[in-house]
């Protein structure tokens, strides 16, 4: 394979980030590895964490099946629950913990006849208004579940909508609503995503559910002492495949978006939007060329993008380019592309080989 584009996944960084989540929370942590571990490879990430993760979180049965088929025996949480009642037999067979967030799912669960009691996470809607039961109904639903002979462990959970905004009071409101709703129930609780783990001590209950922080991207709008310890897990890299000098007044690439105000040395990098790099990355988006700072100039194309080498006069064909990783924060590329690191990681396409270091 000779195309230089690749994503190097540092499994040690993922382990260190998982340990940070555990350290911050003091309780159990379900490593969220849905969407192919946010693009990092779910099976490899699960294997790397299998000796220490308390559980894994996935979005659908297919993702759980992939883990079980690769020999992962750790507890798996199905975060959106089942989509159809017949999926409950797979939940049973695969020994999963199933989230219940609608009346339909509750009805299906109560009518099911599993081989063994099913572990359940009952989801409360404390303000995200996407999934979950109204807090005032939780006591009654909990009683129904607790009385059902084929329901095993019950955990109560909620999900935050704004925990990444550290000065925003709404997370405290969600925590207070949750605590009020569950006050009389003596069962395990789970509130925090990564931002909750890192920035909201009151959200660190029996279980936390870190996702993006495992992969080293800081979800907080203001980094703190915990989030500064995160280690990037994915390095998206490629190499220069052409270097050229353009005269002042010449423009670069599709739509001639960037016009040279002075003579510019331009590098062409073998990586484009078909690899998952955002096409809407603006001029000035940071990259590193052989370790030195550079920037995107011109529109990103399908298989290539162009960078400014004016300050790196010795850069030549074959030199390495980091698009994000240890030196270029995925968050800074995301900010220049009007998106978030989550979409960058999950958007890396099949064409980019994942290479693991451990
Ligand atoms: C229910 C639930 N918990 C936890 C997470 C992890 O979130 P984050 O990646 O922000 O840590 C997600 C992600 O969407 C989720 O849906």
- Report pLDDT digits (tens) over 127-139: 999 999 999 999 9
From ligand 1's centre to the CA of 210, what distance in Å?
7
From ligand 1's centre to the CA of 317, what distance in Å?
41
Residues with CB under 6 Å of ligand 1 are: 32, 79, 159, 193-194, 209-213, 219
CA 230 to CA 213: how far, in whole Å?
7
What structural domains does the chain harbor?
11-219 (3.20.20.10), 234-357 (2.40.37.10)
Task: Read off φ and ψ for residue 144, nearest 5 degrees.
Answer: -60, -45
Whether this prediction's pTM lies above 0.85 is answered by: yes
List, for the chain, all residue ranges whose pLDDT scores fall below the cut of 70. 1
- Ligand 1, atom 6: closest residue by C-alpha: 211
What is the reported pLDDT for 1? Answer: 55
- Average pLDDT taken over every residue of the chain: 97
pLDDT digits (tens, 9 = 90+) for 41-55: 999 999 999 999 999
Atom of ligand 1 nearest to the CA of 197: 11
Atom of ligand 1 nearest to the CA of 209: 4
CA 212 to CA 194: how far, in whole Å?
6
From ligand 1's centre to the CA of 305, what distance in Å?
32
From ligand 1's centre to the CA of 212, what distance in Å?
8
What is the reported pLDDT for 2? Answer: 87
From ligand 1's centre to the CA of 209, what distance in Å?
6
What percent of the chain is modeled with pLDDT above 70?
100
What is the reported pLDDT for 87? Answer: 98
Tokens of 233: 């897990």
Counting ligand 1 atoms within 8 A of each CB, the residue from 78, 98, 125, 159 with the most, and so the one to mutate, is 159
Counting ligand 1 atoms within 8 A of each CB, the residue from 33, 54, 130, 209 with the most, and so the one to mutate, is 209
The strand ranges marked E within the chain are: 6-10, 28-32, 55-58, 76-78, 96-100, 118-123, 151-157, 189-190, 207-208, 234-246, 251-252, 258-259, 264-269, 286-289, 292-295, 305-308, 320-324, 354-357
CA 252 to CA 54: how far, in whole Å?
51
Atom of ligand 1 nearest to the CA of 194: 11
Question: With contact defined as beta carbons under 8 Å apart, do 212 and 342 qualify?
Answer: yes
For CA atoms 89, 91, 97, 102, the dihedral sign is: negative
Question: With contact defined as beta carbons under 8 Å apart, do 120 and 108 qualify?
Answer: no
pLDDT digits (tens, 9 = 90+) for 71-95: 999 999 999 999 999 999 999 999 9
CA 328 to CA 76: how far, in whole Å?
33
Tokens of 26: 């003091």
**Catalytic center residues:** 34, 254
């Amino acid at each position: 394979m000779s195309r230089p584009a690749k994503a190097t996944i540092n499994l040690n960084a993922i382990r260190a980030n998982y340990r940070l989540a555990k350290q911050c929370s003091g309780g159990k942590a379900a490593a969220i590895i849905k969407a192919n571990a946010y693009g990092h490879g779910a099976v490899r990430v699960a294997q790397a964490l299998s000796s220490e993760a308390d559980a894994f979180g996935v979005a659908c049965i297919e993702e759980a099946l992939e883990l079980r088929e690769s020999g992962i025996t750790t507890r798996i949480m199905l975060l959106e629950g089942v989509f159809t009642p017949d999926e409950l037999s797979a939940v049973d067979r695969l020994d999963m913990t199933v989230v219940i967030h609608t009346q339909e799912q509750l009805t299906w669960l109560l009518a099911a006849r599993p081989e063994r009691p099913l572990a359940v996470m009952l989801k409360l809607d404390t303000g995200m208004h996407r999934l979950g039961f109204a807090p005032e109904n939780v006591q009654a639903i909990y009683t129904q579940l607790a009385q059902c002979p084929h329901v095993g462990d019950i955990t109560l959970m909620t999900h935050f909508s704004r925990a990444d905004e550290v000065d925003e009071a709404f997370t405290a409101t969600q925590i207070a609503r949750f605590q009020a709703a569950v006050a009389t129930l003596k069962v395990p609780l789970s509130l925090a995503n990564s931002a909750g783990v890192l920035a909201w001590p009151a959200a660190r209950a029996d279980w936390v559910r870190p996702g993006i922080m495992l992969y080293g991207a800081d979800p907080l709008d203001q980094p703190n002492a915990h989030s500064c310890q995160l280690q990037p897990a994915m390095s998206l890299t490629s190499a220069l495949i052409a270097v050229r000098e353009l005269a002042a007044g010449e423009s670069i690439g599709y739509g001639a978006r960037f016009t040279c105000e002075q003579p510019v040395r331009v590098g062409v990098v073998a990586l484009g939007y078909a690899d998952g790099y955002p096409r809407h990355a603006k001029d000035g988006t940071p990259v590193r060329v052989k370790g030195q700072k550079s920037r995107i100039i011109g529109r990103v194309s399908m298989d290539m993008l162009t960078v400014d080498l004016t300050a790196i006069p010795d850069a030549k064909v074959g030199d390495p380019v980091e698009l994000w990783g240890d030196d270029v924060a995925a968050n800074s590329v995301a900010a220049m592309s009007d998106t978030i690191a989550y979409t960058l990681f999950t958007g890396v396409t099949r064409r980019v080989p994942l290479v693991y270091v451990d």
